[in-house]
Amino acid sequence: MKPIQLSIVIPLLNEAESIQELHEWISSVLIESNFSYEIIFIDDGSTDNSWTIISDLCKKNEFVKGIRFLKNYGKSQALHAGFEAVQGEVVITMDADLQDNPEEIPELYNLIKNEGYHLISGWKKVRYDSFFAKNLPSKLFNAVARKTSGLQLHDFNCGLKAYQKEVVKHIKVTGEMHRYIPVLAKNEGFTKISEKIVQHQARKYGDTKFGSERFINGFLDLINIWFLSKFGKRPMHFFGAWGVVMFSIGFLSAAWIGGSKLYKLYHQEPAILVTNNPWFYIALSAMLMGLLLFIAGFLGELILLNTNTGKNYKIKSTNNIKSHL
Ligand code: UDP
Ligand code: MG
């Protein structure tokens, strides 16, 4: 049997109207280009009859696969489950709502397979979403994400993306991190990342499944990912450094206050009590804060030490060893 060239991963929540149509569209494109492929639908806790439709498709075609979640866990978890299951050399993710265009798949495949990119992110240059609901905030998001990650992408959150299989097997998409998969990939060392302008359509059926909280959560995740990528593996460098700075400021201020008090006593000049000097409390607080920051850094390092499975490296290739990939 021909090895699977393409795995199409589709996370979905209550998209019953679109599934059949999307399946036909993808199949027609892939059959025409003579690809061997699998389509993996991940039903993220739908309450409509999405799963029945997926099950029917699976019965009719062995290369259509389905994963059903017990409840709605979110798009990131759905992608994660899909990534665990994929077998194809090139993995494509796309939304189920017919907003992403399957005609893009052959070119995305070409970019990964033949041009050697680790990840190609779609760029919805012309977008069919309402201006204030998404376009403006999304421009801001992308600008901040570009700045913090150093990745020059225009559309981090595009559902349509293509990956080398190795990439999806190594990244852990948790929380709501699906918005920043290119950053996760970069942090794992997959740096050949680029983008391709893709066609975008207006949602044909139903409504968007993300509310306005997407913006706040999105920004919190962005700060989190920036912080994790910078200090996640060496918390002491952040907390410890600030701890030492704070403690030193406090200690030197306290020494100065104490020193000048002793000096005045020695020269029999009038001097106020150390505890009546407001600077004393500031110095004390700075020393305590410094100590706390240092302890936080130390605890962080201890946690890392104990949760570390020893697998902080990635093997590029092996000989005569059965790979788990
Ligand atoms: N989705 C999902 N789980 C969720 C929310 C959304 O699997 O909790 C799916 C959804 O069905 C769609 C894709 O993620 O296939 C993108 O969602 P949506 O179209 O609502 O997002 P938008 O296009 O508005 O950014
Ligand atoms: Mg959509």
Could you tell me the residue ranges of all domains in the chain?
6-231, 235-305
Q: How confident is the model at residue 318 (pLDDT cuts 50, 70, 90)?
A: low
Residue 162: pLDDT above 60?
A: yes
For residue 317, the model assigns a pLDDT of 56
- Cα separation, 115 vs 111, in Å, equals 5
Residue nearest to atom 16 of ligand 1 (CA): 95
Ligand nearest to the CA of 99: 2
Q: How confident is the model at residue 311 (pLDDT cuts 50, 70, 90)?
A: very low
Q: What percent of the chain has pLDDT over 70?
A: 93
Residue 323: pLDDT above 50?
A: no
Q: Which two tokens stand for residue 34?
A: 């003579």
Q: Which residues pair with 11 in a beta bridge?
A: 42
For residue 12, the model assigns a pLDDT of 97
Strands 161-164 and 119-123: antiparallel
Residue 294: pLDDT above 90?
A: yes
Q: What percent of the chain has pLDDT over 90?
A: 65
For residue 322, the model assigns a pLDDT of 52
In contact, 41 and 64? CB cutoff 8 Å: yes
The overall average pLDDT reported for the chain is: 89
Residue 232: pLDDT above 70?
A: yes
Residue nearest to atom 19 of ligand 1 (CA): 208
For residue 105, the model assigns a pLDDT of 98
For the CA of 94, the nearest atom of ligand 1: 15
In contact, 11 and 97? CB cutoff 8 Å: no
171 CA to centre of ligand 2 in angstroms: 23
Residue 123: pLDDT above 60?
A: yes
Q: From 9, 10, 12, 69, give the residue whose CB has the most ligand 1 atoms within 8 Å, as the site to mutate.
A: 12
Residues with CB under 5 A from ligand 2 (ion): 95, 97, 99
For residue 221, the model assigns a pLDDT of 81
C-alpha distances (whole Å) from 310 to each of 168, 229, 313, 314 are 21, 19, 8, 11
C-alpha distances (whole Å) from 174 to each of 105, 189, 277, 287 are 25, 18, 50, 37
- Cα separation, 166 vs 107, in Å, equals 19
Q: From 46, 130, 205, 210, give the residue whose CB has the most ligand 1 atoms within 8 Å, as the site to mutate.
A: 210
Ligand nearest to the CA of 74: 1
**Higher model confidence: residue 133 or residue 87?**
87
For range 283-289, the mean pLDDT: 96
Q: Which residues pair with 6 in a beta bridge?
A: 37, 90
Q: How confident is the model at residue 210 (pLDDT cuts 50, 70, 90)?
A: confident
Chain mean position to CA 220: 12
Where b means 16+ CB within 10 Å and e means fewer, 36-70 reads ebbbbbbbbbbeeebbebbbebeeeeebbbbbebe
For range 201-229, the mean pLDDT: 83
Residue 87: pLDDT above 90?
A: yes
Residue nearest to atom 24 of ligand 1 (CA): 208
Quick one: 305 exposed, middle or buried, by C-beta within 10 A (0-12, 13-18, 19+)? Answer: exposed
Ligand 1 site, CB within 6 A: 11-13, 15, 44, 72, 74-75, 78, 95-97, 99, 159, 208-210
* CATH number 3.90.550.10 is the correct assignment for the domain at 6-231: yes
158 CA to centre of ligand 1 in angstroms: 11
For residue 321, the model assigns a pLDDT of 59
Q: How confident is the model at residue 319 (pLDDT cuts 50, 70, 90)?
A: low
DSSP-assigned states of every residue in 212-227: THHHHHHHHHHHHHHH
Place of tokens 């190594």: 170
- Cα separation, 143 vs 69, in Å, equals 34
Least confident of 42-46, 163-167, 274-278: 274-278
Q: What is the pTM of this model?
A: 0.80
For residue 325, the model assigns a pLDDT of 42
The CA angle 159-162-168, to the nearest 5 degrees, is 95
For range 320-325, the mean pLDDT: 49
For range 237-243, the mean pLDDT: 93
Residue 308: pLDDT above 70?
A: no
